[in-house]
Amino acid sequence: MQPIMTIAEVEDLMVEVFPHAARSYRLEELGSMTAKLRMVPTEDNLRPGGSVSGPTLFGLADCAMYYAVLAMIGPEVLAVTTSSSIDFMRKPAAGKDLIADVELLKMGRSLAVGDVKITSEGQDGVVARATLTYSIPPKR
Amino acid sequence: MQPIMTIAEVEDLMVEVFPHAARSYRLEELGSMTAKLRMVPTEDNLRPGGSVSGPTLFGLADCAMYYAVLAMIGPEVLAVTTSSSIDFMRKPAAGKDLIADVELLKMGRSLAVGDVKITSEGQDGVVARATLTYSIPPKR
Amino acid sequence: MQPIMTIAEVEDLMVEVFPHAARSYRLEELGSMTAKLRMVPTEDNLRPGGSVSGPTLFGLADCAMYYAVLAMIGPEVLAVTTSSSIDFMRKPAAGKDLIADVELLKMGRSLAVGDVKITSEGQDGVVARATLTYSIPPKR
Amino acid sequence: MQPIMTIAEVEDLMVEVFPHAARSYRLEELGSMTAKLRMVPTEDNLRPGGSVSGPTLFGLADCAMYYAVLAMIGPEVLAVTTSSSIDFMRKPAAGKDLIADVELLKMGRSLAVGDVKITSEGQDGVVARATLTYSIPPKR
């Protein structure tokens, strides 16, 4: 399944409906059931010990999945996360961008399921992996 | 297992080591393997459609668990989340506080596991439930 | 929400549609959004080291949720698990029954979400906890 | 990281320590942080509606991860699952073998984390995906 929106169309949509996300993330690639999102962590994203916080990584994974789903089905902005599991495995490198790679495993009419792997630029190994399920509102 | 820190001690610790959390959350209760955290959502916490965003709810659950673990074992601020699963079940009421109730299921030397239920003040039913595992650094 | 089937009705249904489960589990209690299922582990349920295997505990949690959902909505036997997370926390006592306590958190028209805590008879602490989501087929 | 046991060594070990698994599964491939396990479902593995049951799929994912971890670190048979999340996405084709592909994401001294994708032979799309964390006992 190929995306039906371009990178620019998805980004313009986010500026309009989700400016908080548009400021934090940059959509870099869209492919067949895949997407790549980039984030530059700031001071606000750190937790005690100086590592990127869990909610920051969860937010990146969740938005990466949101961008990927919308790119595939069009601007169904009311698609919402219904469940997720996430594993935090490595501390990301300090001061480096975070990259989220989405692989959609199922794109049904009412549910989408995808895996997201987050890496730290220039560092081997996965920082965090998440699986997310989105519920897609019925067509009116 | 009873907490070994008081509510005031935990909150003072957060002001010092995690000011971002201290500004967002208020610790309301500590009991035997339990804790209750309150949050007032702001505009920044909303997602398209006007509901509280998933990362906001995840962040509340994650911090509630962090507060609970530290209250039980003392100021081990480098305790970190290793994994979590979360289910989003109901839209919270607009403009209402969110309440996170933690129940610690295991408080081992190296791992803590807990359930968190998030409710919306004055509304029946659970908004979100999460399970979190924290890794506790070894004593030096 | 109260069950609309009795314990005997649920057990008779299982003998008919899911004899494998009927042989392994005994439904002991049904309440408002709750159920309790009992299992006597056998040699086949053990893993290396002599502990009860993970799939045995997962199977008990999954069936306990299935029994609970059917008790609430009637014999919708095609209700299926769509996702689950499970944490294994303690080794169950050898030769003791396992008890699964279900708490349904959401009983919607198309989705049910519930928590299951598994304990080992006569032993403190939770052996395993699981959260399960069931998809309920639409009424014909 | 390459496996330090061969397929035959892992299978011989299972015959000895986990005969129930040895009868159910066949290890087909081992690679760098990867493994592939095959299963032929039987009548006992079906649930109401004739599909393969959730606990059967969970058991396959859990054992596939167990085989993969042991292949990488040697016969540490007391490695145990500490947590897992699983999503069931498609009904497997009737009467077809199930294939579990493991990708280890982290192989630490005390914890291993891996993703498992289960497919149904000759059918497109993932039947189920699971993430599992194993705890590895300390060297004596």
The ipTM value here is 0.96
> What's the order of all strands across the beta sheet hosting A111-120?
A25-31, A34-39, A98-107, A111-120, A128-135, A80-88, B80-88, B128-135, B111-120, B98-107, B34-39, B25-31
Query: What number of other Cβ atoms are within 10 A of residue D103's Cβ?
Result: 15
User: Is the pLDDT at D29 greater than 90, yes or no?
Assistant: yes
Across C24-65, where does the E strand assignment appear? 25-31, 34-39
Tell me the per-residue pLDDT of D34-91, one tens digit each, with 9 for 90 and over. 999 999 999 999 999 999 999 999 999 999 999 999 999 999 999 999 999 999 999 9
Residue A82 belongs to a domain:
yes
- Say whether C102 sits in a helix, a strand or coil: strand
More reliable by pLDDT, D30 or D94: D30
How far C97 CA sits from the closest chain B CA (Å)? 20
Cβ distance D129 to D87 under 8 Å? yes
User: Is the pLDDT at D131 greater than 70, yes or no?
Assistant: yes
* Residue D94: band (very low, low, confident or very high) from pLDDT cuts 50, 70, 90: confident
Cβ distance B130 to B73 under 8 Å? no
- How many residues are listed for chain A in this entry? 140
Cβ distance A48 to B19 under 8 Å? no
- Low-confidence stretches of chain C (pLDDT < 50) are none
Residue B2 belongs to a domain:
no
CATH code where residue C92 lies: 3.10.129.10
Distance between CA atoms of residues C27 and B28, nearest Å? 38
How far A98 CA sits from the closest chain B CA (Å)? 16
**What is each CA distance from B48 to A14, B61, B95, in whole angstroms?**
9, 21, 16
Residue C1 belongs to a domain:
no
Residue D114 belongs to a domain:
yes
* Residue B140: band (very low, low, confident or very high) from pLDDT cuts 50, 70, 90: low
- Say whether D1 sits in a helix, a strand or coil: coil
D83 at B interface, C-beta within 8 A = yes
Total domain count, chain B: 1
Residue D48 has its nearest CB partner, among C18, C51, C58, at C18
Across A6-67, where does the E strand assignment appear? 25-31, 34-39
**What is residue D93's predicted lDDT score, i.e. its pLDDT?**
87
Which residues have C-beta within 8 Å of that of residue C130, sequence separation ≥ 6? C57, C58, C61, C62, C65, C84, C85, C86, C87, C115, C116, C118
- Say whether D39 sits in a helix, a strand or coil: strand
CA–CA–CA angle B89, B94, B97 (5° rounding): 85
> What's the order of all strands across the beta sheet hosting C128-135?
C25-31, C34-39, C98-107, C111-120, C128-135, C80-88, D80-88, D128-135, D111-120, D98-107, D34-39, D25-31
Nearest to A136 by CA among A112, A102, A113, A114: A112
Chain B nearest-CA residue for A20? B44
Which chains are adjacent to chain A, needing at least 3 Cβ pairs under 8 Å?
Answer: B, C, D
**What is each CA distance from D55 to A25, C14, D47, D58, D61, in whole angstroms?**
39, 17, 10, 5, 10
Partners of A83 on chain C (C-beta within 8 Å) are 83, 133
Residue A108 belongs to a domain:
yes
Share of chain B above pLDDT 90, in %: 96
Distance between CA atoms of residues A100 and A92, nearest Å? 13
Query: How much is the average pLDDT of A61-89?
Result: 97
Domain coverage including residue D37: 7-135
Share of chain A above pLDDT 70, in %: 99
How far B109 CA sits from the closest chain C CA (Å)? 13
At position B119, the amino acid (one-letter code) is T
Residue D1 belongs to a domain:
no
Distance between CA atoms of residues C15 and C29, nearest Å? 18
Residue D74 belongs to a domain:
yes
Query: What number of other Cβ atoms are within 10 A of residue A16's Cβ?
Result: 12
Which residues have C-beta within 8 Å of that of residue A5, sequence separation ≥ 6? A13, A30, A70, A71, A74, A75
Nearest to D66 by CA among D126, D125, D128, D22: D22
- Look at D87 and A131 and tell me if their CB atoms are within 8 Å: yes
Share of chain C above pLDDT 90, in %: 96
Nearest to A44 by CA among B82, B116, B24: B24
User: Is the pLDDT at B135 greater than 80, yes or no?
Assistant: yes
**What is residue A2's predicted lDDT score, i.e. its pLDDT?**
96
At position A21, the amino acid (one-letter code) is A
Distance between CA atoms of residues C119 and C124, nearest Å? 8
Residue A2 belongs to a domain:
no
Question: Taking the mean position of all CA atoms in its chain, how far away is CA C96?
Answer: 17
How far D7 CA sits from the closest chain C CA (Å)? 19
**What is residue A138's predicted lDDT score, i.e. its pLDDT?**
87
Across chain D, where does the E strand assignment appear? 25-31, 34-39, 80-88, 98-107, 111-120, 128-135
At position B21, the amino acid (one-letter code) is A
Cβ distance D98 to D118 under 8 Å? yes
Token duo for residue D115: 């993703």
Share of chain A above pLDDT 90, in %: 96
Nearest to D56 by CA among D69, D43, D71, D72: D43
Distance between CA atoms of residues C98 and C24, nearest Å? 11
* Residue A140: band (very low, low, confident or very high) from pLDDT cuts 50, 70, 90: low
Residue D62 has its nearest CB partner, among C49, C55, C81, at C55
**What is residue D140's predicted lDDT score, i.e. its pLDDT?**
61
Distance between CA atoms of residues C122 and C131, nearest Å? 23
Crossing angle (nearest 10°) for helices D54-73 and D7-17: 120
